[in-house]
Structure 1
Amino acid sequence: MTLTADHRDTPAMADGQRSAAGFIALDERWSTHNYHPLPVVIAEAEGAWVTDVDGERYLDFLAGYSALNFGHRHPALVAAAVAQLGRVTLTSRAFHHDQLGPYCAELAELTGTEMVLPMNSGAEAVESALKVARKWAYRVKGVPADAAEIVVAGSNFHGRTTTIISFSTDPVARNDFGPFTPGFVAVKYGDAEALESVITDRTAAVLVEPIQGEAGVVVPPAGYLRDVRRICDENGVLMIADEIQSGLARTGPLFALDHEGVRADIYTLGKALGGGILPVSAVVGSRSVLGVLRPGEHGSTFGGNPLACAVGRAVIRLLAPGTFQDRSRVLGEHLHARLGDLVGHGVAEVRGRGLWAGVEIAPGGPTARQVSERLLRLGVLCKETHDTTLRVAPPLVITKDELDHGIDAIIAAIRA
């Protein structure tokens, strides 16, 4: 395999150590140790497959935590990016550009909403939704100044900013990062009675993941999301759905909320919205809510930039016919049927929907990290969350044969 010019010209690699070990050593020496990656160095990728610096191919069973729903370098997405690179990439929101209006209109039409707030990362989208909910509470609901509360679910994951970790219940995310932002109340995920018991006149919104990804692809009890919607309606509270990982066809329908026929007031989107090419996120919802923002009150230099909008529009075109939603549903049924056969044979539980599964390793078996490392040796890239759960999320372009190849590897890795 021929290394790219970027590899050859790296001064730190002048000693000739251009092997995987050399690149890993470089990462360990110069990058902050806030991740614990598997020991593989990816150099190329296409579709559901990646190739490392030594020319070894691996099946991607993680898809960038749903950022790569359409696989690596989808031709339509690459073409859109290349075309826009040749025109204009950034204007800032100080000016209009010819991609923003069409992007917002097309995303609103796809999602059945009325207004779009474009941002970059998923965490930015969540932060933006929180700000909007608070402003709505003061300007529309009449909550006293600085008294608004937002109810969240325990074991949540919405990002890594200081405000977001302020309502995390994960000590790894919180420890040593205080003091924390007030104004949040956490209740047990899936418990509608607990949620209802903490709603007050000061409650602005309920923020919930329709499926909790980082917690282990946890699906709430049937009817829970409908109860959340009911409780919000009865108390004049906004429902915010974080569909950054679960949305855009990952679980079958466009949104995971769609499984229960529920609509949120605000959705946060990200990851797959950028097609695995660049960070693209958005808050979408009703005009009566997002319309509370006025010029100068919120913004982002890169939010809604022409390149991001062009790629986002290409993503929307891929999703509009429903083909990827159908693939996720049909292949997801196959995935869950086969993984379900492992329950009682090294696996305690399989959770999830569509092409998204949390495989809970049975007590006494290997750790999820050990399973991930075994899968790496078998040519499949997957990753653990916490100690006992293997998180499975292959790109939606995967074929049934490729899916079976990955499932076979999981079976072998758990039983090894």
Structure 2
Amino acid sequence: MSNAAVITPVGGPSLPQERRLVTAIPGPRSQELLERKAAAVAAGVGHTAPIAAVAAGGGVILDADGNSLIDLGSGIAVTSVGNAHPKVVEAVQQQVAQFTHTCFMVSPYESYVAVAEALNRITPGAFAKKSALFNSGAEAVENAVKIARKYTRKQAVVAFDHGYHGRTNLTMALTAKAMPYKSGFGPFASEVYRAPMSYPFHDGLTGPEAAKRAIAMMTKQIGAENLAAIIIEPIQGEGGFIVPADGFLPALLDWCHANDVVFIADEVQTGFARTGAMFASEVFGIVPDLITTAKGIAGGLPLAAVTGRAEIMDAAHAGGLGGTYGGNPVACAAAVAAIEVFENDGLIERARAIGVILQERLHALQAADPRVGEVRGRGAMVAAEFVDPTTGEPDAALTSAIAKQCIAEGVVVLTCGTYGNVIRFLPPLSIGDDLLNEGLDVVASALAAH
């Protein structure tokens, strides 16, 4: 934007924590950027909120027109510690001044090792662990599958209905939703199979019943002797924040261990205090063999990891894992600072407190409006599923209308779900109660208007 420099706000916690609309959304400066985007950026790269962001922090995003929007999405669960957190900013500035890259596979550096040590310590499991660092959640998932195949000397991999694992070729094969993630992009990687997920709102099964159904499918259609790994999100993200019934995940884990199958927990969206525990696996009392992480790990910088049992992680030969930018020193410095914030600044407790507000407010909406079919989630990862109250069928049109009105009124919300009928709430853990409640007021008003 030619005149974007007129606004030079300071980001981070110093931003006024308020919803403020000074123009319609998009305003003229944001619209100018959107026009440039349409001309310069590939059409396949979409966007949710039609704004040009210039600063963010606490619980708000400021656009180029001076509008201040309440952020209930955290860049899809990335800025959990808060955008431009001072400790992350300081760590990044110090590292940038020292060096920006050497490639860890060429000349190692301390911050990569420090991140690996921290992940080995804070992920579930008292056994010896090792980690490898990558750039994105999809890259972490690909490498977890590589490691599991190498360790087991088997090839088949099972993912689950409604699961989302990324946009690369292998992770598209693992992902359950065709549009917009898979349609027209095949053929996909082979030896990937899909098992039924526990979805209590729709299937009515107990956890053990749902696990028995999935295990029967895996046994009959694949055979444990051919199965290297299963990969599952403890709470599904893009699929609709689906929380499996109690007992489902432990039963799958027990079956995996009895059959030499690696259990991979995809905690890319659920990790780092988001669910009111450091990792969602802890919520369900499971200890995965491998965990993939990304999103919230580095306070907004691109970083991802695979962490797990040392004997599994060490299965890959030297040079078999890595990547030019994997474990970039600037991102690693940010991650060390962010993990320190997660551990020492009460963010797990804050996620639980946010969850109480979200659950109470959304359950009140559900009690008053039968179109809110279910409210579910853990901690600061909560969603509402919208349905036709007569048929119970998914209502994607209502969901889209609510989300668009919220954004127009200065509240950024994200939709999700296999059927596009879920609004997910992922506020930064730095958001204040007043701002969170104001954002939920806008959601309630949007629902009432439709």
Give the TM-score of the pair, scaled to structure 1.
0.91
Counterpart amino acid of residue 110 in structure 2: D
Q: Deviations over 1:233-281 (max 9, x none)?
A: 11121110000001111110011111121110000000001211x2110
CA distance in 2, matches of 1:178, 1:6: 44
CA distance in 2, matches of 1:403, 1:168: 31
Q: 2:130 aligns with which of 77, 97, 115?
A: 115
1:394 aligns with 2:427: yes
Q: Deviations over 1:58-92 (max 9, x none)?
A: 01000011111112111111111111111111110
Q: Tell me the equivalent position of 1:263.
A: 287
Fraction of identical pairs, as percent: 30
Is this contact kept in 1: 2:165–2:174, CA < 8 A? no
Q: Tell me the equivalent position of 1:368.
A: 399
Q: Deviations over 1:299-345 (max 9, x none)?
A: 11111121121111111111223711111012202211111111141
Compared with structure 1, are the counterparts of its residues 18 and 399 closer, same or farther at alpha carbon in structure 2 (3 Å cutoff)? closer
Compared with structure 1, are the counterparts of its residues 192 and 112 closer, same or farther at alpha carbon in structure 2 (3 Å cutoff)? closer
Q: 1:237 aligns with which of 261, 268, 285?
A: 261
Compared with structure 1, are the counterparts of its residues 169 and 331 closer, same or farther at alpha carbon in structure 2 (3 Å cutoff)? closer
CA distance in 1, matches of 2:411, 2:194: 37
Is this contact kept in 1: 2:359–2:382, CA < 8 A? yes
CA distance in 1, matches of 2:383, 2:43: 26
1:24 aligns with 2:43: no
Q: Tell me the equivalent position of 1:14.
A: none
1:80 aligns with 2:91: yes
The Cα of 1:101 is off from its aligned counterpart by 1.9
Compared with structure 1, are the counterparts of its residues 223 and 375 closer, same or farther at alpha carbon in structure 2 (3 Å cutoff)? same
Q: Tell me the equivalent position of 1:185.
A: 193
Q: Tell me the equivalent position of 2:14.
A: none
> Where do 1:37-48 residues align within 5 Å?
37-48=48-59
- The secondary structure found in structure 2 opposite 1:69 is coil
1:170 aligns with 2:177: yes
Is this contact kept in 2: 1:117–1:282, CA < 8 A? yes
- The secondary structure found in structure 1 opposite 2:110 is coil
The Cα of 1:298 is off from its aligned counterpart by 2.1
Q: Tell me the equivalent position of 1:194.
A: 213
CA distance in 2, matches of 1:36, 1:369: 14
Q: 1:321 aligns with which of 344, 347, 359?
A: 344
Q: Tell me the equivalent position of 1:10.
A: none
Counterpart amino acid of residue 406 in structure 1: G
The Cα of 1:361 is off from its aligned counterpart by 2.1
Is this contact kept in 2: 1:367–1:387, CA < 8 A? no
Q: Tell me the equivalent position of 2:249.
A: 225
Is this contact kept in 2: 1:245–1:270, CA < 8 A? yes
Q: Deviations over 1:87-132 (max 9, x none)?
A: 1111102112132222211221122561011111110000010100
CA distance in 1, matches of 2:214, 2:229: 11
Counterpart amino acid of residue 126 in structure 1: V
Compared with structure 1, are the counterparts of its residues 6 and 88 closer, same or farther at alpha carbon in structure 2 (3 Å cutoff)? farther
CA distance in 2, matches of 1:129, 1:393: 26
- The secondary structure found in structure 1 opposite 2:338 is helix
Counterpart amino acid of residue 66 in structure 1: A
Q: Tell me the equivalent position of 2:411.
A: 380
Counterpart amino acid of residue 157 in structure 1: Y
1:359 aligns with 2:384: yes
The Cα of 1:405 is off from its aligned counterpart by 1.0
Counterpart amino acid of residue 4 in structure 1: A
Unaligned runs of 5+ in 2: 9-26, 199-209, 390-394
Counterpart amino acid of residue 237 in structure 1: V
Is this contact kept in 2: 1:58–1:381, CA < 8 A? yes
The Cα of 1:202 is off from its aligned counterpart by 1.1
CA distance in 1, matches of 2:6, 2:98: 25
Q: Deviations over 1:5-63 (max 9, x none)?
A: 899xxxxxxxxx97221111111121112224232221111221111111010010000
Counterpart amino acid of residue 377 in structure 1: A
Is this contact kept in 2: 1:375–1:381, CA < 8 A? yes
Q: How many residues align?
A: 397
Q: Tell me the equivalent position of 1:155.
A: 162
- The secondary structure found in structure 1 opposite 2:428 is coil
The Cα of 1:395 is off from its aligned counterpart by 0.5
Is this contact kept in 1: 2:124–2:288, CA < 8 A? no
1:52 aligns with 2:63: yes
Q: Tell me the equivalent position of 1:11.
A: none
The Cα of 1:152 is off from its aligned counterpart by 1.0
The Cα of 1:136 is off from its aligned counterpart by 0.6
| Aligned-pair Cα RMSD in Å | 1.9
Q: Deviations over 1:338-380 (max 9, x none)?
A: 1111114141211211111221123277522211111112211
- The secondary structure found in structure 2 opposite 1:43 is strand
> Where do 1:290-309 residues align within 5 Å?
290-309=313-332
Counterpart amino acid of residue 19 in structure 1: R
Q: Deviations over 1:113-164 (max 9, x none)?
A: 61011111110000010100100111xxxx4xxxx21111011100000111
Give the TM-score of the pair, scaled to structure 2.
0.85
1:348 aligns with 2:373: yes
CA distance in 2, matches of 1:44, 1:136: 45
Unaligned runs of 5+ in 1: 8-16
Moved over 6 A (4+): none
